[in-house]
Amino acid sequence: MAIDVVMPKMGESITEGTILEWKKNVGDTINRDETLLEISTDKVDSEVPSPESGTILEILFEVNQTVEVGTVIAIIGESGEKVESIPAPKTEEKVTRVEEVETPKPVSITQEVTTSKSRRFFSPIVKAIANEHNISIEELETISGSGKNNRVNKADILAYLENKSGLVQPQAITIPAQPNLPLGQPISMPETQPVNLEDRVEPMGRMRTKIAHHMVESLRTSPHVYSTAEVDVSNLVKLRGKFKREFKSQHGLNLTYTPMILDACIRALHEYQLLNASIEGENIVHHAHINMGVAVALPNNNLIVPVIKASEEKSFIGLARTTADIAGRARENKLSPDEIFGSTFTVTNPGIFGSLFGMGIINQPNVGILSTGSIHKRPVVKESEFGDVVVIRHMMYLTLGYDHRLIDGAYGTRFLSRLVDLIEKYDESRLF
């Protein structure tokens, strides 16, 4: 009996996926749980296993097509088995009501894009934006896409609209003039330099393109402010040296500085909760949990930010174990989309590569990001009962980047000072 293979729901926030590669062709045999195809979402690329063993009877979508979750994408059955045709999904006609004004019926660009013989595939969201702004299929085909095989994504068409002079407003929609600019309104970006004939041009790749869009969008949205503090981590160095063998023996984990700093940061966020909030329009969203994003550098020189959900509920052991787990699976491309979605605060560690301090770009929709620098021995002046003395201490810089729409300098600096205090007075009892 033939089995339908549907586009899987890869996470709560995921509504569609783009087919990157079919691992099998029509007529090939496949075993249960063997990889059938690879898909890409807004968050991560994932492999989709076969739900059953059998023969690939039909593949319903091509590479680079974007498919809604729950849609049948392939059929598996016995060799030679006849397959009933799958009816095309029905689309609901969208009607815009206009009161007291009669206007000519607008042309449905979505329908035109869908039914025309275009050589390029456009996702539903791209077609919807094209329809809203009265962009014809001919004009849509002129837009250069940043996706695989020049596929136009949401960011591409929005950038095109932003740079297009004399934008046509959507038909039958009137937006009243606003007295003030909305928070986080995008600004125009400068044009790139022309390519020299001797230059080597290399495609960015899917992940790098996503990172680029996210970074630019963050700078457009948030006015970044930075505060830096110096912290004496000699106590952390002492604790790690004292307990690393015992910790490894009991828990099978290496004792690192990262969970110590995360633990202190979570406690500081409890006291300065505004840094764990986010902005939606002109509203402040106060999050119930601290979902800690931890930046991880990948072997391909890209960056990903897996999330420790409800990190305030975890013990030190839980933080250490979860941090090691998500970092390891991130480097192996084994994270699910939901594991890199929903952060409320982010910690990044450029110091692991030798940087004294860093100035990270805020991971939207967060309003704060903490960058930790490398640990170095330095002479430091300390007060004693005999007066000032110069001692050698392990020192590190902490840099807090924050969204000035919500966080002022005084608040950000007080949070940073409290974090320094928690790190310098870190209690060994928290390790076990």
Hey, which residues are catalytic here?
A: 404, 408
416: left (phi over 0), alpha (psi -120 to 50) or beta: alpha
Helix, strand, coil % (nearest 5) of the chain? 30, 25, 45
What crossing angle do the helices spanning 124-132 and 154-163 adopt, rounded to 10°? 20
What is the Cα–Cα distance from 338 to 120, expressed in whole angstroms? 30
Least Cα distance to 107 among 24, 18, 201, 172 occurs for 172
Give Dmax over CA atoms of the chain in angstroms: 92
The residue type of 421 is: D
CA–CA gap between residue 258 and residue 265 (Å, rounded):
10
| Cis peptide bond prior to 365, omega within 30° of 0 | yes
Residue 411 structure tokens: 């608040």
CA-to-CA distance for 430 and 54, rounded, in angstroms?
Answer: 53
Separation in Å, CA 270 to CA 18, 290, 313, 345: 39, 9, 12, 12
Q: Which of 285, 336, 278 is nearest to 306 (CA)?
A: 336
In angstroms, what is the C-alpha Rg of the chain? 26
Q: Is the Cβ–Cβ distance between 62 and 46 less than 8 Å?
A: no
- How far is it, in rounded angstroms, from Cα 79 to Cα 77? 7
Find the DSSP H helices in 252-389: 257-271, 316-331
Q: How far apart are CA 141 and CA 137, in angstroms?
A: 6
Pinpoint the alpha helices (H) of 164-306.
206-221, 234-251, 257-271
